[in-house]
Structure formats: C-alpha cells, structure tokens
Chain A
Amino acid sequence: MRAAKFASSKLHGVKLQRTFATGSSPLLPSDRSLAAERSDGLQQLQVESAEVQKFSQLAEDWWNPTGPFRPLHQLNPVRCKFIRAALCDQYRLNPAASRPLTDVTILDVGCGGGLLSESLARMGARVTGIDLSAASIDLARAHATMDPQIAKSVTYQAISTDGLAQQGRSFDVVIASEVIEHVDHPPAFCRSLADLTASSGTVILSTINRTVRAYALAIVAAERVLGILPRDTHDWSKFITPGQPPSRFRQGGTPYASGMSLDVASGRWGLSEDLAVNYIACFRAAARHAQASQPS
C-alpha cells in the first residue's frame, strides 16, 4: 500500500513516453550463461552475455540525450556532483577548484558509452573505462576523440574486472555506477572491484536499492508504465541494499551515502536522504590481508 501511494504521488501529471522499440524479447532464464570456472577454482565473474547484448544493441544511442539512455543523462550531473564532493572530502581536495581531481586515477566499471568517464575527466581525473560490450567501447572511444582534452585523459578497454585485475592494475578510485544490478554474482563482483582498488582507495557504487518500493517504482513505473527505461532493464533479484556492505569494504562515513531521486514531472534528479530507491555510496577499501576465498 505504501509503495503504491508513493508511486502515485510521483506519477501524477506525467506524460507517457515509449522510448524503446516494442520488439525486444524479455530475458528468459534459459538465456543466461553460466559463470565459468577459473583453473585456480575461483569463480570467474561473468556478466551474463544476454545482459551485455541488451546494451550492445543500444550502443549507438548512448549519447542521445533523448534516447533510451535518457535517465542516465538526467542522472549524470547529480551522481558526478556526489562523486566530486565525496572524493574532495576523502582526499582533502579543493571542491571549488575547476579541476579538483587532477592526478586521481579512476576506474569506471561498466562505462558504456563513456558518459561518466568523460565527466570525471573534465574534473581533471585520469580515467580508465571498461565494459564488456565491445560496441559500447568502440563508441566511447570515437566520442572521446572529439575533444582533445578528453582524448588525453580517458582510455577504454573491452575487458572484465577480473581480466583487468589479472593485469595487475590498480586505481585510486573504482566506480561501478548503475552496474551492479546487472551482474549475476554481486558479492564476487564486489570482490573484483576491491582487487582493483589501491590500498585505502575508494569504491563508489550507485545502484537501485532492493526494497518493495524500489521494485514498484523503478521496475513497474519506470519500465512498464512510463516507458522511461527499456523494458526488462532491471531484474529485482539483483538489487543490493546499502545494509549489505560487501565484505571487503567498510563504509567511508555518513556523508558518503546519498539517495538519488527523480521527480518524474520535471525530469530532474536530485540528491536526497531517501535511500530507499536509487542510491549512491562511497566505501573505503579495507587494507589488504591474507585472502580468504569464501564469497561474502
């Protein structure tokens, strides 16, 4: 009841829009690929190929602000402001400077067309963007060449987090924004994020919270009723809650978690105290200990 009441107050007065072709097929269990086993017994994290395909098909539209990725375009300024504030606070940087993240290395996991990567590069960061969709990476590279300053500051690779970790790479900040809800094994995914983070570095996650309200609002409302997101973008069972801190992380402190909410009528996102639907949170990577290989 409560979820319905909340949903209706946000839905009032909204124009319905179809933003996705109705010919797409829903995700069926049989489409999911199994996670492969690595020779040393650790389960290799593999985002389902069908999930990746969903995004590859839309790759051309990444940079269209009125296309199927419109909510991400609308969300981007808010999540960037949060990231900027959190990192400036964390690393004692000057938030009023024009490029406060100069010399900070950032990994953008699930970078897609490079929406977040480019914004972070504009703030001075040296960004590496990775995605399993080769089509998205190609598009991201092409887009980055348009601005010489961006081209110097961002590199893209079509690779998984495990693949990158195997190369021995590590970053000051690892960001997985609007990704974890598409991943098959969130705990293992979080482990791989921690592997890529420098000691006492930072991991930032933004995702949809797993509550009934999130389900009602995000999936039902956004996908089915409003057509804001392409249908079947989100699968409820994959949402994680901020109350489940992945074992390798500890929370960086109260200012570092924030809700993000969409006022559907005006199309504007804002930071809010309501963590119940979308949220973004910043975690300090724990110092390295001898590794236990149990999933958390």
Chain B
Amino acid sequence: MVGTALAAALGSNPLTASMKIVLLDRQSPADLEQGLSPVPESRNSALIRALSRRLPSSLTSLQPASVQSIHLPGYSNKDQQGGSQLATISLEDGRHLRTRLLVAADGARSRMRSLAQLRTVQWMYNQRGLVATVRTAEPHATAWQRFLPTGPLALLPVRHGFSNIVWSTSPAQAAELEASSPMGFVAAVNQALQEPSDQTPSGLASLQGLLQRGQQMPQPPLVSELAGGSPKSFPLALCHAGRYVRPRFAMIGDAAHAIHPLAGQGVNLGFADVSCLAQALAEACEAGTDIGSLSFLEEHYERPRQRANVSMMAGLDLLKRLFTPQEGLLANMRNLGLDTVNIMPAVKQQIMKYAMG
C-alpha cells in the first residue's frame, strides 16, 4: 500500500509526474484486494483503489512479478567514483530492469531489505498481535482501546457494522483465542471490553471522582459475531533498520520500521515516509540532482524520517511500558493523568493531530 501511495504522490506533482516508474508486486492486483479483508469495501482495499486512480500515466505495473536478485552499487568512495552505476533488478521470469532508485515497500519482513543487506535492530515484546473481523450489535464510529493486564485490545470501526479487532496479548492467551470457537471468541472479547476495572486506593479515587464528575464515559459496543476467517496472530516486535538508504536504494513503511500496534500508527508512519520521499524527489528534479545519490537520500529522506520515526517508536515503547502495570503508584498516576487529559479538549486535539500526521 505505501508503495502505491508513493507512486500516486509522484504522479500528482508535475515535477515528478513524467518519471518512468515501475510498480512491482509478487501478487496480482486482484489477489491483493481479496487477501486483505473479508469486509466488503474494507479500509485498506478502499485506500488502494483510491490511490490506484491517481497513478501517473507513465507508470508500468508488473504484477505479479518476483524479484530473484538485485545489484546495487557499493558504498566505498571508489565505487562512487565509477559512478553510481544504475541499480539492476533481475526478475524470476528472466527480465532485467535498471533503475536510478529502487524503493522497497515490501513490509516488515522485507525481502528487498535482506537482499540489500541492511540490518535491523529488533526486540520482541513477548506478545502476539491477534487480528480478527467482527460485527457489532450496533454500528459505531469510535475506535476503542482497552489496556488489559496482558496488553491492549482495540476495536476499530470499519463500515456497515463491521469492526476490526487488534488484540495484543501473551502468546498463551493468543493461542487459546485462536483455538476457541467463534462464540467463545466473541464472549472473550466482550468480557475483556466490558468488565469493570479494579478499585483504586481511596485518596486518588476521590480525585478521580472529581475529574470524572459530569463526564459521561460511554461504554464500548457489544460484539455480536465473528466475521470472515478465524482470528490469526503474529509475534509483536519492534524492528528498526539502522539505515533506511544506500546508494540507489531506499526503504519506506514497515520495511524500514515495524512498531507495536498499540497506537495504530504503523501505516501513518509509512504515509509520512511517502510524503517526505516524494517531496525530496520533486526537489531533486528541480535541482537536477541524481535521485539515487547516497548523500541526497541521507540528507532529504533518511535523516528527517529516522528522527521522526525513532521518537514515535520511543514514545510508543514508553506508552507500552507505562500501561503494563495494573496496580501500584505508577498505574494510579497514569490513570489520573489520562483522566486529566480527557477533560482538556485542547490537549486532546493536539494529541489527535499528531497521531493523524
């Protein structure tokens, strides 16, 4: 999706609209839309369709096409002297492509990243992210997230009464949920969302009572049934590439950085990468700069994006650690802090603006 977004962004700027672009994907467009969600008109497929309408006319789509190998120029000054030879991509069907810039947008387990020999820093969260699609008793338009002892459970509205569940939980509970019956799963979700939380100590409770007075805290909707396939889970890890670029190569989206789903920021960071890189490429066109040159990619893409992504990731990591404890002073201070923010609309607006990019 971020790859298509980049192509669309380039198409919408006259400076970059006539660049020769090739969009490669292992899956055909039909498979891509189908595989994403059982929900008709799901968020992702709607996005992809909208982006596809903005692709530049100079774009060539090679879908499906598999990459067998890539050849990128080296880093050393001697190699740079020789040029910055163009990059070569060899496809499994025997075709070869040469390009001034290869952009990898192939997700968290990026194959391009390993072919380009770029390393990542990873740590596992000892949690699995479980995803499923459900129907709610009533249609709703609010994204809910409840922080449970084992991790956050998110209920995200889609359309027509469908919602997505993203439940970060322990490997044991994830296995249990995956193995449960559809009704069992629905019951577990409802219990997790609706169950009242434990009491806080009296001193802080009266302060909380003060803050919550007059605030009608609505309840999350009841989930009525599981839609589509059974729930699936994947291991949660933070994964960040040490370098996003090398000569003639750049990574965007999850290929460069995979984060905890707790704030729903993953694809937002990817879109921010797209915006930054598209802008940089337009400036390069204006100044006649070689779009594959390492110094250009470092200065106009990698440096600003790493700074932004790392601070977001650090913030999320902090949030995750902050929300893990369920009792004790830290938990109580945190709850008090959230209640305080809840009654300050200006602060909430700022937070929302930041999260929406």
Contact = CB atoms under 8 A, between A and B. Distances in A.
Please say whether chains A and B are actual partners in one complex. yes
Interface of A: 60, 63-66, 73, 76-78, 80-81, 84, 96-99, 118-123, 139, 142-143, 145-148
B18 to A, nearest CB: 5
Interface in B56-78: 77
28 contacts: A65-B294, A65-B295, A76-B289, A77-B283, A77-B287, A77-B289, A78-B287, A80-B289, A84-B288, A97-B15, A98-B14, A98-B16, A98-B17, A98-B19, A99-B18, A118-B288, A119-B289, A121-B288, A122-B289, A122-B290, A142-B81, A142-B82, A142-B83, A143-B81, A143-B83, A146-B82, A146-B85, A146-B86
Interface in B211-254: none
Contacts of A80: 286-289
Nearest to B84: A146
Given A60-B81, A146-B82, A147-B83, 18 more contacts: A63-B80, A64-B77, A65-B295, A77-B287, A80-B288, A84-B286, A84-B287, A97-B15, A98-B15, A98-B17, A99-B18, A118-B290, A119-B287, A122-B289, A139-B81, A142-B82, A145-B83, A146-B85
A99 B295 CA distance: 23
B210 interface: no
A214 to B, nearest CB: 25
Contact of B86 (A60, A97, A120, A147): A147
B159 interface: no
A78 B15 CA distance: 17
A111 to B, nearest CB: 14
Contacts of B81: 60, 63-64, 139, 142-143
Closest 8 CB pairs of A and B: A146-B83, A119-B288, A77-B287, A122-B288, A65-B295, A96-B14, A80-B287, A98-B18
A143 B19 CA distance: 22
B100 interface: yes
B291 to A, nearest CB: 9
A22 B100 CA distance: 37
Interface string B265-282: 000000000000000000
A118 B296 CA distance: 15
Contact of B287 (A81, A99, A146): A81
* Residue of B16, B100, B285, B287 with most partner-chain A CB within 10 A: B287
A122 to B, nearest CB: 4
Interface residues of B, number: 25
- Interface of A: prevailing SS: helix
A76 B299 CA distance: 14
Contacts of A77: 283, 287, 289
A96 B15 contact: yes
A123 B289 CA distance: 9
Contacts of A122: 285, 288-290
A95 B82 CA distance: 31
A279 B316 CA distance: 47
Contacts of A139: 81
Contacts of B82: 142, 146
A148 B99 CA distance: 11
Contacts of A64: 77, 80-81
Nearest to A125: B288
B229 to A, nearest CB: 45
A118 B83 CA distance: 12
Nearest to B13: A96
Nearest to B16: A98
Interface in B1-47: 14-19
Interface string B165-194: 000000000000000000000000000000
Contact of B14 (A66, A97, A119): A97
A143 B290 CA distance: 12
A28 to B, nearest CB: 32
Contacts of A73: 295
* Residue of A73, A84, A96, A98 with most partner-chain B CB within 10 A: A98
A235 B180 CA distance: 82
Nearest to A120: B288
Contacts of A121: 288
Nearest to A121: B288
A123 B80 CA distance: 22
Contacts of A142: 81-83
A95 B285 CA distance: 11
A66 B82 CA distance: 16
A122 B283 CA distance: 13
Nearest to A62: B81
A24 B27 CA distance: 59
A63 B73 CA distance: 15
A139 B295 CA distance: 20
Nearest to B283: A77
Interface string B293-335: 1110000000000000000000000000000000000000000
B100 A147 contact: yes
A66 B17 CA distance: 31
A121 B295 CA distance: 20
A162 to B, nearest CB: 28
Interface in B135-161: none
Contacts of B16: 98
